[in-house]
Structure 1
């Protein structure tokens, strides 16, 4: 069976374009913020003679990921309290599917509920 995409109206296309632009701007802002925080941490660690201990970009990306995961699930990002486990489950399953599909991860995603 072939799936067909609906033809978008002019208003729907405009809305999609607004969201795409916002998504692109957000991704650029997060990438820039990550680069800047690594640079600042590197400078600050060197100032205290700890240049070899500077966290790498991936560390800070993990911090962003964790802090964004909480609001997606309705949890407090400072305490991790109050999250919806069903939403958390679906977010994790989505990430597992991305890793498997795009990066050939050898994992079996959580089964659907």
Structure 2
């Protein structure tokens, strides 16, 4: 893949590498936490005789997504109260742009203000 970004000085390359490594560690930790949540829910549901009732990965991923959305917008994740509606719109628009660009979604992102 061609790198079309700016030429970085050595210190900037080090910073980018550190941040990239932290990004990968975070993604791995989230994936591991999702798997652990599924395993724990399956175990606890089996204990009460509810085999096969474990929520799927996407359910737990949506819980994480909502928490992160609130964090980015400054809202309370328990009540969904507060937060900056302008940031919320930017986050939604970014998601729409990703869906359109990478997955060919038939969507027109919210227009910028």
Instruction: Settle same-fold status: TM greater than 0.5.
Output: yes
What's the TM-score, normalizing by structure 2? 0.93
Structure 2 gaps of 5+ residues are: none
Give 1:68's aligned residue.
68
Equivalent residue runs for 1:83-98 within 5 Å: 83-98=83-98
Give 2:31's aligned residue.
31
Structure 1 stretches (4+) deviating beyond 3 angstroms?
none
Give 2:20's aligned residue.
20
Cα distance in structure 1, aligned partners of 2:71 and 2:99? 22
Cα distance in structure 1, aligned partners of 2:100 and 2:29? 27
Cα distance in structure 2, aligned partners of 1:68 and 1:91? 11
Cα distance in structure 2, aligned partners of 1:32 and 1:5? 32
What's the TM-score, normalizing by structure 1? 0.93
Cα distance in structure 2, aligned partners of 1:79 and 1:51? 31
Total equivalences in the alignment:
110
